[in-house]
Amino acid sequence: MDKSALNHHNLLFSGMYRALQYYSNVHRGSGQRSLITTRLYEGARLEVLSFLGLDPGAWEVIFGTRAGATGIVENVQQYDYHIIDSTDFNLPFGVCALAVRRHVLKHTFPFNTGGGTTRLYSGKWVIWTSGPELHEAGTPAIINVIGFARALNMITRYGRDIFLTSPDQGPADTGFLRAEEGDGVRGLPLIQLLRATMPGKEVKVPVNGGEAAVVHFDHSASTAAFQSSWEAFTRASLASGPVRAEILREVREILARFLQAPAADYDMMFTSGTTESINILARSMARSRLEGVQPVVLTTLLEHSSNELPWRYAEGLGVVRAGVDKEGFWDLRSIGETLRAYNEDHRFGDQRILLVAASGASNVLGSCNDLQALAGLVHRYGAYLMVDAAQLVAHREIRMKTWGIDFLTFSAHKVYAPFGAGVLAASVQVQEKLGMSLSGPCQEGEENLAGIAAMGRSLVLMERIGFQLVCDHEQEMTRRALAGLASLRGIQLYGLTDPDSPRFSERIGVLVFGIRRTMPGTLARALYQEHAIATRYGCHCAHLIVKYLANFNALGEWLQGGVVRMFPRLQLQGLLRISFGLENRTEEVDLFLSALRQCTGPSKTGASAAEKQDKRGKKKARKDVESRISALGDSVLQEVYRMF
């Protein structure tokens, strides 16, 4: 074993672990972790520019995959961009950094579309965001990006070849992927063990009056890491060539079992996440022309923008949408009528619905529709089914073969392995029928071997917990939260809110709501500043369903679009969302409800002098909290990027 190489890797991992302790989704999250993670992520752009010797005033950095970077610069002059990749330095993190001149970036269009690339959209138009985010669809490989930036810093100091020697030259050993946790515990004891050992669980953050542990109620956006998944990440990062091939084979076996998608029937292809997977599938579907047929994709109003925009912008595909009710459930009869109109009655000429693209669970309403029933209907009319399982994978058992799902995708950062890996599972038979070749644009896996290993480890742990226990745990917290919210004045809840409904078991732990006379953003800030409770507000990259819930008509939608165009800095408030995961406990739900009562406070009208004084005091205290969070962010930034 090369001790020097091992020392360099360990120094790299120590900084990444520090970042992992504060991990959250960047930019749009509410909470101390999101603010600090965003600082680290944006700092990574500066580290790349420093490594390349480029002026931050003239250049911008975009993070993604090699394929995505190539797609962005397809029509850009070679002297206007630089590309560096983690694999250039023998780091299997799946990170490609693209530096582009700022004036050139203004005239580019996103290669991949989806979450984060838009400010606002309707069923007919899109207002795109600007800068690097326009090209960073979906959740980036945040920890991997931070690690790559730290590695560049180390390379500048110690030399370009410090990571080129792999410390592990031993026999192929992938036992760490399936190793027992603790003393071989399963079920609830395993949840308790994983919860207690999550990186960052012991870290306190600034709040009004002191410090507190973070309550993470933003699992629909991203999950923290299992400690064991992080260890799999580092172990795979050190692996030599033969071991790397064995890890990929092993993870494919884990995926086939976890998704109940036999290897003989389904290809398991690695991507950077759900968003890239759907973009790849959309482009491939658009190229799979059947003679005499204009292909159409049927989606629903529930969809995340990552399962809406890629179909719109794949040249040659038409898009139609199925409606849903206000609880987030579609009408199978209506979907059947649409399929029959296109594929049997031929009411739309040579247009045929080739694919139905639907979410397994809504990231806004938490509704889990009947995928097996939908698949049967879709196949009856000669179409195929693609399931966006990003919100489903950590909450319910998936049975691809039994249910008849043809394509399925998800991201590992939704299932306790936030290291930039994703999966596109595709029916071998359907690919042959459509003449598709998905393996070409998908990664072979070497690029982000570390993230793939972490994903495989997380899936093994989820299996050992058991999804019935996961479901029961979430439903208990959801019932508790709904009961508490219903007791508060001014709360408007959306979706299925009746615990006695026969459909209640068909939802995951996601709740969205608004509060009269209180802006969601104001409330989200108060929750984290005073109680360290991380929530999320806005349109949740699902603008169509949020507008539907808010009863927007065509005029309202037009006016909203005009306002956003006139005031580009305006941040849409949307709805406040809480979403549960394995790390949450019922006591945290009670804390949230208590905090909500305190944060909403008295109404503006009729407030006493004492109440007004208290309000001024809270405003001053919140400014102090923000200052302390900023100082903590500076400290962590120094630790991660200025380690010398």
Distance, CA of 119 to CA of 128 (rounded, Å): 6
The predicted structure's pLDDT at residue 168 = 60
Of the pLDDT bands very low, low, confident and very high (cuts 50, 70, 90), residue 604 is very low
Least confident of 369-378, 504-513, 577-586, 606-615: 606-615
Cα angle 446-449-454, degrees, rounded to a multiple of 5:
160
Exposed e or buried b per residue across 433-457, where buried means at least 16 C-beta atoms within 10 angstroms of its C-beta? ebebebeebbbebbbbbbbbbbbbb
The distance from CA 63 to its chain's CA centroid, rounded to whole angstroms, is 15
What's the mean pLDDT when you consider all of the chain?
92
Whole-model pTM: value is 0.95
The CATH number given to 3-169+631-641 is 3.40.640.10
Res 237 pLDDT > 90: yes
The predicted structure's pLDDT at residue 556 = 83
Tens of pLDDT, residues 198-235: 999 999 999 998 999 999 999 999 999 999 999 999 99
The predicted structure's pLDDT at residue 605 = 46
Give CA separation, 350 vs 286, 287, 378, 585, in Å.
Answer: 15, 17, 18, 54
DSSP 181: P
Q: What is the mean pLDDT of residues 390-413?
A: 98
More confident residue, 509 or 603: 509
The predicted structure's pLDDT at residue 121 = 93
Of the pLDDT bands very low, low, confident and very high (cuts 50, 70, 90), residue 576 is very high
The predicted structure's pLDDT at residue 169 = 54
Res 602 pLDDT > 60: no
The predicted structure's pLDDT at residue 642 = 84
Least confident of 244-258, 291-305, 377-391, 551-565: 551-565
Distance, CA of 562 to CA of 564 (rounded, Å): 5
Q: What is the mean pLDDT of residues 414-433?
A: 96
Is residue 544 within 8 Å of 100, Cβ to Cβ?
A: no
The predicted structure's pLDDT at residue 532 = 96
The predicted structure's pLDDT at residue 329 = 97
The predicted structure's pLDDT at residue 609 = 56
Is residue 256 within 8 Å of 268, Cβ to Cβ?
A: yes
The predicted structure's pLDDT at residue 607 = 52
Distance, CA of 383 to CA of 359 (rounded, Å): 17
Across 495-611, the runs of DSSP E, i.e. the strands, are 510-515, 533-534, 536-538, 575-579
Tens of pLDDT, residues 158-185: 999 999 877 765 556 889 999 999 889 9
Going by CATH, does the domain composed of 236-464 fall within 3.40.640.10?
A: yes
Which residue in the block uniquely carries the two structure tokens 């006016």? Answer: 559
Q: So where are the chain's domains? A: 3-169+631-641, 236-464
The predicted structure's pLDDT at residue 644 = 64
Q: What is the mean pLDDT of residues 405-418?
A: 98
Q: Do the first three CATH levels of 3-169+631-641 and 236-464 match, i.e. the same topology? A: yes
Of the pLDDT bands very low, low, confident and very high (cuts 50, 70, 90), residue 603 is very low
Res 1 pLDDT > 70: no
Q: What is the mean pLDDT of residues 11-39?
A: 93
